[in-house]
Structure 1
Amino acid sequence: MSTKHIDVAAECIPTHQLLNVAGERVPDRELDHYVAKLTESDLADFLRDMVVLRRLDNEATALQRQGELGLWAPLLGQEAAQIGSVRATRDSDFIFPSYREHGVAWARGVKAEDLLSVWRGAQSSGWNPNEVNIACQQIVIGAQTLHAAGYGMGIKFDGTDDVAITYFGDGATSQGDVSEAMVFAASYQAPVLFFCQNNQWAISEPVALQSRTQIADRAQGFGLKTWRVDGNDILAVYAATQAALAHCRNGLGPTFIEAVTYRMGSHTTADDPTRYRKPDELEQWKAKDPIDRLVKYLHVIGADVQSYEQRAQNAADELAAQLRAAITAMPDPAVDELFDNVYSEAHEPSVRAREGYLGYLAEFEGEGH
């Protein structure tokens, strides 16, 4: 019995790109008009945001190495995917992030020190989601996609044109939660944007091991309108996100974006990527750096790049100083705060647990512990 060979590559959807590695503008008939109104000032803001975000990430990594944080999940190299997408949303859209979307949260108004407080163990959540319309970071892989699907179903029934956006990595697409979320969103035609940052590595496993085709192609099987973009090209990310959000706002159902990027650093600060990743692969992706690419484009259009870079550097320095001052002055939580806000009302088992734990700790008082 013979088997027919299926040319998977021939069936893949295209990868959109508006800026190539040299910083040159690439025409794209589908996405061009979404960036047509961007001004030089907008591009300078993109640059500032990415530079500040990279500094925040580097500072957090250093703080973890210095014992100020328990853990950190670096995003180095993914600045364009995060800033380009979040800057395309509007404030009333609600975002459900994973544990790596520090830039998305920061751009939404979350203070840098509140981002780091959870990783320091000083708080259990970090911020009030209703104040900035972004949920606290989700550690359970892919769980936030179900939250977004449910929220999107609520939006549909409320009759607004807001959108629920959920971020996750390529590894999360192997989780059942993500598949279930897309099934529900598609079944109810809910306004949900599933944004996958394909950074090539799910901890120590390459994306090719998880998916025999492009992740974006898999999403189409659930009935989602799908885009695949160069995730290191901030213009392409911004444009595709605008297109996906417009699709959702027009009542046409959920959407999916695969932003092809690269995790330049470790999965977390507890990970050693040199054990599974070849040095030449890292060097190849360094040449695609999203910040360098935008700087090159600003040179191409004749912008005053030096002044924009200085402004970005000043903003990054200011954030770094504020962040370090906030971290070193951040008080440790009281032991009994562990039981606060577990339930919205008094809960007898929780009360007993608090009393039992505090009684246990009291047994060690005076013993030098």
Structure 2
Amino acid sequence: MSELRSNDQKHAWIYLFNLGFYILPIVLYPYSLFQVIVMLAAMLVFIGIYFYCFSLPTDRMAWPIFGMFAISCAVTPLNPGSVALFSYVGFFVGFAYRWQVALACVLGVVATMTWFQLVPGTHWDLFLHYGVVIVVTVAIFGRVERLRQRHAREKEKSAEEIERLATSVERERIARDLHDILGHTLSSIILKSDLAKAQLGKQQYDDAAKQLAELSDIARNSLSQVRQSVSGYKHGGLQLELRRLEQRLQDAGFSTTISGAPPQIDSQRETALVLAITELVTNVIRHSSGEHCEIHFNESADTYQVRITDNGSAMNAADGNGLAGVKLRLQELGGDVAIKTQAGYEVALTLPKQLESNA
């Protein structure tokens, strides 16, 4: 159950200004010292219960509210300023209970004040008139505060849910980026290591040294990319990445053709495209039994298309985590992935020229 929020609890002292209506008669009327002590003691106990009630959840406010009501009734024959005490009862009743119960309780408080006015009488002829107005008004304030805090909690829950979903999406992005980056990098490291080993076996030391130097550069770039992935993958641009991928394919023994004009697109879609093509080229190097790979760019009135094709056998081709990540990455941008296996293995990527509003 809800309780008065910490910000309101900090300002609880301010809300005690209404006790001025209770203190004023003590100053103006010729009470005896004993009566003054009794009324002040009742007020201090009332204030203690008031602060205690502020700290409780609504389902535990019943007895403190009843205690404030009892003190209000006890001091009314002495001090008509007890209308101020009844007003606090009205506030907590309006705040703590659903409107049907709150309305019944407020009517009960009004009936009690009516009895004091008509039967034993009070020292103030307007006790009932002012009391009803104050109690009903403050009870409405309590009800409004209940609704305001409910709305604030729902807003906080919505914000927390949005933050949770955003965190989940970011984790998925980092996981996909790391998969793509490390998959590409480790494949390159394996390839360069194998080439260096073979060249050392043939005593081609200069060529082996070149492969080892490139291997060192690949490791450094990989470390940098992994660090950058937590804040958004950064790359050298589509053109530069294509040249790097072409060199990788050639090092792996694939003749390579890059045709068409790479699109000039925003960084978000360019990053998605770079990572998707990198993953697909890595798959070609790892799994293809062919010797040729083609990367072809095209565009229509509404979309950009990229087709990655190799002439290896597609008999045992199966979708893995990398290809699933490529599909998800493009779908988040309103794009699509299509696979053909009739002649070799072909993956066609499609991206819209205009980002969808919810992308």
* Shorter-chain TM-score tier: under 0.3
Q: Which has the higher contact order (CA 8 A, sep 6+)?
A: 1
**Normalized per residue, which structure has more helix?**
2
TM-score (norm 2): 0.21
Larger Rg: 2
Q: TM-score, normalised by structure 1?
A: 0.21
